[in-house]
A and B are shown apart, each in its own frame.
Chain A
Amino acid sequence: MPCALLGDRASGKTTFLGLLYSAQVKYGTGVHDDFRFHAPMASLNIMSAVYEGMKDARFPSATLKEEITELSFIFGYLRKVTGKLPYYIRQQNWAKPFSTLRFSAYDVSGEDIEEFIETGIASRPLIQQLLKSVVVVVLVDCSKMTTDIDTPPYKKMLRYDSTVAKLLVAFQTYKKQEYDRLKDSGVSPDPPIIYPAFVLSKFDTLRDDVLARLGLHQGFPEDKRARREYAEALLRVFVPQTLSQIRGGKVAGVSMDKAEYFLSWVRTETQEGMEPVGQPRIVRTGFRPEGGGEPDFSYDEYVHFIEHFRHIANKIPDEVLEAEKFQAQALIRPN
């Protein structure tokens, strides 16, 4: 399942992926054992380097960031029914205990799909692959949320909003075109759908005066509806075009209504009363029975993010699953 990851420069894309990997490692080695993951070698090399760095209190380096264009993981979710079977049966391959989902994240910038926006044609295979994304993860950098309209962060956010709105319109247009093409060729495809996921990155940097101005309390709510309202209140102010195009998908014939919202933060070392000098260092957790020495980050939110894909996995359109199966077979087939 292709998944586009949209984020501005320095919005925390690589850190997000590093923390997602961290969460996968922790969640996938938990006592419950109902989630497992596998990473192809290329992705593993990069992510383990990011992970190692984070365990050493460092944020990903610029060189590492440049290496990332596509990352994939295979998520395995224990099926509910098989979860109730005895352990030795669950371990048998024939029982197919895990439903799997290929999570491919592409790092996307506005320029990447400029060709499609300008000409309506996606000629590069990577862009075609990207436009097929069923999940679009939009990173919104909370450190750029400001109520001071004459500052560079405000202008950066304005520009970012335009870029993401453009990308979303491109995704919607491509999906609708593909749907119409399949329909014209006699296939009965599922109505086009995109699952947007917003990640409010660097949430710990969101200033109190901004929250106060927007009438929001500190801390993200637990309840699903309250989370949505809280996140949308922020998005409405800082990325209104993006939000309007997400909602407008339905009138364009591409449903994008099932948006989910997640937080991301990673605690950094601060010294009382002093401005940090140089690159901030990540705070690591102490050692406990369930693990330790890991970055202190919004782990529960990342688990929530991983679990979100469990629900999406059951809703992926048939033609996407077929295409993935075909792709997987092509990779296995000897030359």
Chain B
Amino acid sequence: MLQVVIVGDHDSGKTTFLGLIYATLVRSGSDKTDDLRFHAALDSIEEITGLFQQLMSGAFPDSATKEGMHELSLEIGFRSPRRGAVPRLGSRNWTAGASMTLRFTLPGSLDEQIPGFLQGSSVYQGVWRNVLDGDAIIILVDSAKLAPKAEDSEPGSLGTYDGRVESLLAAIQRWRERGGRDVLHPIFVFSKFDSVGPGVLRAADVEATPPDIRKTGPRAAYAKALLEPNLPRTLAKVLGTGRGKLRFGRPNYFFSWVRTEGNAPGPGERIRLRRIDGGGWEPDYSRDEYLALVDALGEIAARTKE
């Protein structure tokens, strides 16, 4: 089982992000091409179907949904082989043993529910406990809060968040000294990427749209140009050569956006739904990025199995 931890600030789009992963899987899992299949675990189905209903009605998750959404367990199988070593399931046959189990943990907002172990406690409990044993960590970066590089080299409005993520990563490093997996795969997801300020892009000297998903090098450079002024400590941590037992895998970068109806951002903001091939609708979002993310998780799962 691949344990994936999602961390983010308050209102950074964590629940929407999880809902869009599910929406991506629902569409691919019911697609005519039949290349992907997934099964949602019984203990997750109630919450995730409720969340899906909200997104498909054009609404962002309400506070009750956000409150109740802490985990999502899925069994995923691919028909075509992943680039890594995910077992090929055969052109016709799908077998239970050859799929991967993904468990997403959504412990809460890093700015609201600071786990005890970040405040010096040695007691590790609750949903935050799962964070310490994660195989991959998805670090959500709220693009609306990205700031251009400051003259005085002080981090922008994401400065506090940067410090907390760095501390969290350090806590995981300390925890893993005692045992457990020796690799943690960091994944940066720029949420609300459609709301990144033009000044930020200009200052980072990057285009408005990120390079193609297949161009991993330019994408990494693009993401780093935005992360360096905003999450310098976190970036340094995952790219650095730590001395401990835990090492960080090569980071992946994804860009998430979901289009909204014309009205101004706020509580009444509605998701725009778009038509898809063969009829039907889905939220107007960066589906290709989500597909690539699922793909990347598949590769990580395969490497973790080895």
Measuring CB to CB, which residues of chain A are less than 8 angstroms from any residue of chain B? 116-118, 120, 147, 149, 155, 158-159, 162, 165-166, 169-170, 172-173, 213-215, 232-233, 235-238, 240-241, 243-245, 247-253
Q: Is B30 part of the binding interface, using a Cβ–Cβ cutoff of 8 Å? A: yes
6 contacts between A and B (CB under 8 A): A165-B49, A214-B279, A215-B278, A248-B39, A250-B37, A251-B37
Question: Is B279 a contact partner of A213 (Cβ separation < 8 A)?
Answer: yes
Chain B residues within an 8 Å CB radius of A249 = 39
Main secondary structure of the interface of A (DSSP, over half): helix
Contact indicator per residue, chain B 31-52, by CB within 8 Å of chain A (1) or not (0): 1101001111111011001101
Is the Cβ of B37 less than 8 Å from the Cβ of A117?
Answer: no
Which residue on chain A has the smallest CB distance to residue B282? A240
Residues of B within 8 A of A (CB): 25-27, 29-32, 34, 37-43, 45-46, 49-50, 52-53, 56-58, 75-77, 94-96, 99, 273, 278-281
* Residues A252 and B45 in contact in the complex (CB < 8 Å), given A149-B58, A169-B40, A215-B279: no
Distance (Å) between the CB of B306 and the closest chain A CB?
Answer: 20
Is the beta-carbon distance between B40 and A245 smaller than 8 angstroms?
Answer: yes
User: What's the Cα separation between A214 and B52 when bound, in Å?
Assistant: 22
CB nearest neighbor in A for B56: A158
A244 near B29 with CB under 8 A, answer yes
* A residues in contact with B38, CB < 8 Å: 244, 248, 251
Enumerate chain A residues within 8 angstroms of B52, measured Cβ to Cβ. 162, 241
B77 contacts A251, CB within 8 Å? yes
Contact partners of B42 in chain A: CB under 8 A: 116-117, 120, 169-170, 173
Assuming the A-B contacts A169-B40, A248-B38, A248-B39, are A236 and B32 also in contact, with contact meaning beta carbons closer than 8 angstroms in the complex? yes
A120's contact among B43, B49, B58, B280, by CB below 8 Å, is which?
A: B43
What residues on B are CB-neighbors of A248 within 8 Å?
29, 37-40, 75
Chain A residues positioned under 8 Å from B49 (CB to CB): 162, 165-166, 241
CA of A159 to CA of B46, assembled, Å:
12
Complex interface: chain B residues within 8 A of A252 (CB): 39, 75, 96
> Are B29 and A247 in contact, CB atoms less than 8 angstroms apart?
yes
- Chain B residues with CB below 8 A from A170, complex form: 42, 45
Cα A238 to Cα B56 in complex, Å, equals: 11
**Residue numbers in B under 8 Å from A162 (CB-CB):** 49-50, 52-53
7 nearest A-B pairs in the assembled complex, by CB-CB distance:
A244-B29, A253-B96, A214-B279, A162-B49, A252-B39, A237-B280, A248-B39
Q: In the complex, A235 Cα to B27 Cα: how many Å?
A: 12
**What B residues does A173 contact at CB under 8 A?**
41-42
Which B residues lie within 8 Å of A250 (CB)?
37, 77, 94-96
C-alpha spacing A172/B37, complex, angstroms: 14
Q: Which of A166, A215, A251 contacts B45 (CB 8 A)?
A: A166
Which residues of chain B come closer than 8 Å to A116, judged between CB atoms? 42
- Which residues does chain A contribute within 8 Å of B26, judged by CB atoms? 240-241, 244
Contacts of B31 in A (CB 8 A): 236
Contacting pair A240 B27 (CB below 8 A): yes
Please determine whether A169 and B39 come into contact, CB atoms closer than 8 angstroms. Answer: yes
Nearest Cβ on chain B to A258's Cβ, whole angstroms: 13
CA distance A238 to B278 in the complex (A): 12
Q: Which of B50, B94, B273 lies in contact with A149, CB distance below 8 A?
A: B273
Can you name the residue of chain A whose Cβ is closest to the Cβ of B78? A251
Given the complex, which residues of B lie within 8 Å of A149, measured CB to CB?
A: 57-58, 273, 281
Asked whether, in the complex, the Cβ of B53 is within 8 Å of the Cβ of A159, the reply is yes
A118 to B99 Cα, complex, angstroms:
25
Q: Complex Cα distance A118/B47, Å?
A: 11
Asked whether B53 lies within 8 Å of A251 as measured between CB atoms, the reply is: no
A251–B30 CB distance below 8 A: no
Bound together, the chains give a CA A116 to CA B95 distance in angstroms of 26
Cβ of B250 to closest chain A Cβ, rounded Å:
28
**Chain B proximity of A152: nearest CB distance (Å):** 11
How many angstroms from the CA of A106 to the CA of B100 in the assembled complex?
Answer: 34
Asked if A251 contacts B99 (CB within 8 A), the reply is yes
CB-CB under 8 A from A118, the residues of chain B are 46
A237 neighbours in B (Cβ, 8 Å)? 278-280
Contact of B34 among A238, A247, A251 (CB under 8 A): A247
Whether B39 contacts A166 by the Cβ 8 Å rule is no
For the complex formed, measure the closest distance between the CB of B290 and the CB atoms of chain A, giving whole angstroms: 15
Which of chain A's residues have a CB closer than 8 A to the CB of B96? Answer: 250-253
CB-CB under 8 A from A232, the residues of chain B are: 32
Q: How far is the CA of A240 from the CA of B276 in the complex (A)?
A: 13
Interfacial chain B residues near A117, Cβ < 8 Å: 42, 45-46
CA distance A188 to B77 in the complex (A): 26
Chain B residues with CB under 8 Å of A245's CB are: 29, 39-40
State A86–B252 Cα separation when bound (angstroms). Answer: 74
- A211 and chain B: residue at smallest CB distance: B279
**Most central of A120, A213, A245 by chain B CB within 10 Å:** A245
List residues of chain B with CB within 8 A of the CB of A251. Answer: 37-39, 75-77, 94, 96, 99
Pair B278/A236 contact, Cβ less than 8 Å: yes
Which of A155, A237, A238, A248 is the most central at the interface, judged by chain B CB atoms within 10 Å of its CB?
A: A248
Which chain A positions have C-beta within 8 A of B95? 250
Q: What is the minimal beta-carbon distance from B206 to any residue of chain A, in angstroms?
A: 35
